[in-house]
Structure 1
């Protein structure tokens, strides 16, 4: 049976594979010379100092040394990352620190230049979780063992990352002051207004109000309260917290296309399980009186915690059943919640310190009592002490983003910790999180519809691959692939084109019938000749009602103007000022590596992005499974 460490390393490799492959198919349209945000305009030259490297940590800066242009260098990072992550999924020997270090450097190289299309919370979560994989994975050099006494201690960092992610995600919703979270009405709008909903989201949107309010309250309980059970001393409470978090992630995955985020979070949840939990060895019979007393005390403590959880849920969220209907409402004030956050943030730090100290002491004890031979004992003790220093350093760094939840607690951090964090901030080793901070789409889902015309009279809509457009098109299932243009179109609808200059670039590319950008769209209504005019309008979309069987969506008939009617001449000067135009000739001379990368690109172009990403991922997972079965 695989250990929690094995599951974590395989899972991170799978997520890396998804992330690299998903980004690869979008590189030309997003970052190429004719794309929306040409990376060549921001990438710097070969770093001359360490400080210069930290300013833009990317291997792509070395592109000209290998006769490659910027787009080919990004392709190379994606392909090498996908190749080694596939090997890491299939072969145990490839799940080493060196391989995970390479994967982390490659993804960091892309992230550092990714701009708005790559700066999502799941991207920085992957970087942080991926860096922990470097610490957790064995070196596999000089015959060193694959498992160590300090494995539980390094896996503790994953548990702490999971706690910070879930606790912050719950807290920020209420700290934002959004009236839908405080009124437990956020789910009235969430299923309809999220970026790319799935078909089941339509049905969840039409569930009874009491169910959505109860679900809303349950989210707060699972994320804010249950998260503290990660550090519980009893096995039952930890397993309960594991299933609670996984259940929440599956519901989010079921109703929304959040790429690899939910999968990555579920992988982090395995840090809550010991190897005994996975092998059922922890359920063995207890024979001695001490074991029986310990078991009884553990059961009493577990019952006490569950009782407190139920009572607090009833008191603070008003959860009760009346006439077969579950009702709920928040029974605390914003001022009272701020006091709780300050107290809970401080308690979480001390609880984490106590939990980490226990793990360190346990590891050292096992080194001294379970190893055989003087050399083995010394090796285990030295490696455990070394890992302890690394874990303490990483934990200290993480306190800076963790205490962003409360400024008073943040002010109590020792100055050296703040200094350490500032030195490494550009590497995304630790980050602050907080998903769905404020509910969007209250009163309807804003959606930008782009239209082109050859005569300013007959307008045709551009249909995007996955975001809502035509009213009769069903919401797609696209996860784990992330269509990053569709995601940014969702953000663009929440703001204005003046604050999304990539949107203006997109309009110009459509007026030019640019193939690499059109590859990111469902169809081109002007396949024979590019349009002369283009505009964007802002519609308000709603799910259709239960009685409307023909369409999934309905939209208000009177849209607002998002952009005026534009021509290429209107946009040329704007893009010239931002160095998007004119497009310079490619770097010469071409190298063989550059030519090979462009040949690979020509082979995969035209393959459905979702099919390619899922196909590659399933190939790696099935190969790993078959190899394990053959042993």
Structure 2
């Protein structure tokens, strides 16, 4: 069954495995550094409480066997170490079965984390990493021929990711159809980066060109992934370049990074050989049992594809939805609607036991989300600041802040070390505040003249107190 081997994709697999290991590394680091405040035993949404009311069948996770903050930390840091080893290529020399087991371990560890993460892990790139991580188990080490069916399954992921995002835009906000969404998006996106202001101030014809190019990349180019080379490789390069543009314009955790990682599998060794001084070995083969496993995997993917395909064809298309508890063969999409006005929640505290008109309120500063108007938006991606992202959603509607936002405010009254670790600064280092409050502001980027005059990246206007 030589047709099960993918000739001309040995380097593509090598690049993919190294790059996916790097994405896993960032994901596990994010989990290890933030979990205590978010889902720890005294977290804003404690995992033990969630596990008590959720079955293993609904949310498969190692933490159903046991949960403690120490055990969670061990799981997360094990993921960090294993993924770092794979980035360094230490898994290449493993026997085939051991290689599969190492990648399966990473997938099981991260799936376990996602399934206790609750709203903090309710993003499309979480289920995407789970799906891609599962397929990566079956790619095999460098001394085995790349399995064609697994590569096709990865191209199918990339197709659904791009095409689903394109359809959700066409079916969603009218501004995507009249090419005006990017008049607002760079300013109102969840987490602007250092270049977002410059992108926002591009001329409107450039914004319309961005939107039109996005439609072509997401609605036309994905079909080329299933054509022979060089069309497949050209499609992959277009997707990689487009995702690179998104990396430059905003912070979207590892969504853009993992999309580029998947696209590397479609580039082909002909293009990779131009930039990588590595010669693929001659005459690689596959054990018969490995070929059987690849065929069975393909059957599973085809069977599970019924629901996402039906979703793609539906007028009520769901965005970023998993149809099974293992997060396999999911539906994807992004920014079906675009907000026109940016609102931000600013948290403040005071030591005054009886606040009045003359009370001094001091602001808490977050690591990523806008706060201090003179602070330039930082570059964070592919790292994911989960509290900062949820604060953006909470500013859209108080319902997004339930039930964790009131707990956050109470933790600030306690000067809780784990919560304060999520913030950039604590204005009350010596003693906790007597009172805290939340204010809602409207933010917009300053233009070049305003920035020269004030040194501020943002202009903000008070809307009122935020109800919590």
Distance of 2:176 and 2:302 partners within structure 1: 31
CA deviation map 1:170-215 (0-9, x unaligned): 1101111x12212211111111111111111111111110011011
Q: Please tell me whether the aligned partners of residues 164 and 312 of structure 2 are also in contact (alpha carbons under 8 angstroms).
A: yes
The root-mean-square deviation of aligned C-alpha atoms, in Å, is: 2.5
Q: Give runs of aligned pairs for residues 424-573 of structure 1, distance below 5 A.
A: 425-440=324-339, 442=340, 444-455=341-352, 456=355, 457-496=359-398, 499-548=401-450, 549=452, 550-556=455-461, 558-563=462-467
Q: Please tell me whether the aligned partners of residues 206 and 546 of structure 1 are also in contact (alpha carbons under 8 angstroms).
A: no
Distance of 1:498 and 1:124 partners within structure 2: 20
Distance of 1:513 and 1:77 partners within structure 2: 27
Distance of 2:386 and 2:263 partners within structure 1: 26
In structure 1, what is the equivalent of residue 260 of structure 2? 266
Distance of 2:336 and 2:400 partners within structure 1: 24
Q: Tell me the SS of whatever aligns to 2:330.
A: coil
Q: Please tell me whether the aligned partners of residues 448 and 539 of structure 1 are also in contact (alpha carbons under 8 angstroms).
A: yes
- Unaligned 5+ segments in structure 2 are 1-8, 276-281
Q: Give runs of aligned pairs for residues 347-496 of structure 1, distance below 5 A.
A: 383-407=290-314, 425-440=324-339, 442=340, 444-455=341-352, 456=355, 457-496=359-398
Q: Tell me the SS of whatever aligns to 2:294.
A: helix
In structure 1, what is the equivalent of residue 107 of structure 2? 104
1:479, distance to aligned residue in structure 2 (A): 1.7
In structure 2, what is the equivalent of residue 87 of structure 1? 85
Sort the Cα spacing of 1:463 and 1:408 in 2 relative to 1 into closer, same or farther, 3 A: closer
Sort the Cα spacing of 1:382 and 1:131 in 2 relative to 1 into closer, same or farther, 3 A: closer
Residue among 136, 160, 183 paired with 2:139: 136
Q: Please tell me whether the aligned partners of residues 9 and 137 of structure 1 are also in contact (alpha carbons under 8 angstroms).
A: no
Larger radius of gyration: 1
1:475, distance to aligned residue in structure 2 (A): 0.6
Distance of 1:408 and 1:18 partners within structure 2: 35
Distance of 2:328 and 2:149 partners within structure 1: 18
CA deviation map 1:106-140 (0-9, x unaligned): 001111100111121001100000000112225xx
1:227, distance to aligned residue in structure 2 (A): 1.1
Q: Please tell me whether the aligned partners of residues 497 and 563 of structure 1 are also in contact (alpha carbons under 8 angstroms).
A: no
CA deviation map 1:311-344 (0-9, x unaligned): xxxxxxxxxxxxxxxxxxxxxxxxxxxxxxxxxx
1:26, distance to aligned residue in structure 2 (A): 0.7
Q: Please tell me whether the aligned partners of residues 497 and 562 of structure 1 are also in contact (alpha carbons under 8 angstroms).
A: no
1:15 aligns with 2:23: yes
Distance of 1:59 and 1:555 partners within structure 2: 45
Q: TM-score, normalised by structure 2?
A: 0.88
Q: Give runs of aligned pairs for residues 602-617 of structure 1, distance below 5 A.
A: none
Q: Tell me the SS of whatever aligns to 1:448.
A: strand
Q: Please tell me whether the aligned partners of residues 5 and 151 of structure 1 are also in contact (alpha carbons under 8 angstroms).
A: no
In structure 2, what is the equivalent of residue 218 of structure 1? 213
Sort the Cα spacing of 1:244 and 1:560 in 2 relative to 1 into closer, same or farther, 3 A: same
CA deviation map 1:218-254 (0-9, x unaligned): 1001110111111123x23223212211111101111
Distance of 2:292 and 2:104 partners within structure 1: 22
Residue among 236, 249, 252 paired with 1:255: 249
Distance of 1:199 and 1:409 partners within structure 2: 36
Q: Tell me the SS of whatever aligns to 1:93.
A: coil
Distance of 1:463 and 1:438 partners within structure 2: 28
Q: Tell me the SS of whatever aligns to 1:5.
A: helix
Distance of 1:502 and 1:382 partners within structure 2: 49
Task: Count how many residue pairs are aligned between Structure 1 and Structure 2.
Answer: 437
Sort the Cα spacing of 1:88 and 1:459 in 2 relative to 1 into closer, same or farther, 3 A: same
Distance of 1:403 and 1:409 partners within structure 2: 10
Q: Give runs of aligned pairs for residues 28-427 of structure 1, distance below 5 A.
A: 28-44=36-52, 53-63=56-66, 70-90=68-88, 91=90, 92-93=92-93, 96-138=99-141, 146-148=143-145, 151-176=147-172, 178-233=173-228, 235-279=229-273, 383-407=290-314, 425-427=324-326
Distance of 2:129 and 2:290 partners within structure 1: 26
Distance of 1:409 and 1:474 partners within structure 2: 39
1:274, distance to aligned residue in structure 2 (A): 2.5
Which runs of at least 4 in structure 1 moved beyond 3 Å after TM superposition? 379-386, 407-410
Sort the Cα spacing of 1:20 and 1:381 in 2 relative to 1 into closer, same or farther, 3 A: closer
Q: Tell me the SS of whatever aligns to 1:452.
A: strand
Sort the Cα spacing of 1:397 and 1:202 in 2 relative to 1 into closer, same or farther, 3 A: same
CA deviation map 1:486-509 (0-9, x unaligned): 111111111115752111110000
More helix by share: 1
